[in-house]
Amino acid sequence: MFPQSVAPNPDVDHITSEIAHILRARNQMMAVAESCTGGLVAQWITARPGSSSWFERGLVTYSNASKADLLGVPWSLIRDAGAVSGPTVLAMAKGLLNRSSVDWAVSISGIAGPDGGGGRNQVGTVWIGWIGQTATASASRFYFSGDRANVRCSAAVAALSGLLSLLVDPAPSDENLVHIVEPRIPKRVS
């Protein structure tokens, strides 16, 4: 059903099953705005029968223009922070939450490679943002190795895993509190 490089693995199946169970039990919906993953999260979710009862929409906002037009990310933020940054994925998630009737929004922006790395972000850098109607917005930066397919799949799994963690133990909402996690950049082994 899926090309080998993007086929959901047993972990993904378990994670999406848990997300589905929790959201259905709470009568809640989620949405996702994807850049570097190109709709992979939405593809995995909608492969599950009954996903329309808990998944409202998925947007592929690959270009900076689509981030601005569809999600309301300010051009000045994209220019100053970069498209692949904590502030940008938080703005993407907040824009998605505000433009839809969902309880949870996930956003992803990164550099899957093999080209595009440089400056503040190398190939394999992915930022993921999460926000809930009653949970604090948060964003985390990840570094994934491997080829383009591996970076995309790893990012999609991390996005779903992060959402599941928030669903299980959400941080209380505080309009003035935003968590941005930037781990140290690991040294690449040659």
pLDDT (0 to 100) of residue 117: 78
Each residue of 78-102: pLDDT tens digit?
Answer: 999 999 999 999 999 999 999 999 9
Closest CA to 178 of 134, 131, 122: 131
Closest CA to 110 of 97, 94, 121: 121
pLDDT (0 to 100) of residue 71: 98
Residues with Cβ < 8 Å from 169, sequence gap 6 or more?
none
* Domain architecture of the chain: domains with CATH: 4-181 (3.90.950.20)
CA angle, residues 51, 52, 55, in degrees to nearest 5: 75
d(CA 23, CA 12): 16
d(CA 29, CA 52): 9
Q: How high does pLDDT run on average in the chain?
A: 88
Closest CA to 89 of 51, 132, 35, 133: 35
Tokens standing for residue 144? 């994934």
Q: Could you read off the pLDDT tens digit of each residue along the chain, which spans 190 residues?
A: 344 445 557 789 999 999 999 999 999 999 999 999 999 999 999 999 999 999 999 999 999 999 999 999 999 999 999 999 999 999 999 999 999 999 999 999 999 998 887 788 899 999 999 999 988 899 999 999 999 999 999 999 999 999 999 999 876 555 544 555 544 444 444 3
* Sign of CA pseudo-dihedral 85, 40, 33, 155: negative
d(CA 133, CA 147): 35
Angle between helices 64-71 and 86-98 (to 10 degrees): 40
